[in-house]
Amino acid sequence: MTGAANYQSQLLAYTEGKDPLAMQAEAPDLLAALISGVDASTLKACPAPGKWSVCEILAHLAEDELTSTWRYR
């Protein structure tokens, strides 16, 4: 299985039997709970060279949310 096919398979398995729109609506609260109490410097730190920090990942998700909303319309 190729990397892309493997990734797609993982995503489909994660969402299997779940309503994608409900998952999207729940995501902000879930993400907020996951980072609650974590020091800002930890959130901004990259875990390894070339890897994104938690803040960068959250910014990417927020940007994607805006882009997806525009596309839905």
Concatenating the DSSP letter of every residue in 4-57 gives HHHHHHHHHHHHTTS-HHHHHHHHHHHHHHHHTT--HHHHHS-SSTT---HHHH
- What is the pTM (predicted TM-score) of this model? 0.75
- pLDDT tens figures, 11-60: 889 889 999 889 989 999 999 999 999 999 999 999 999 999 999 999 99
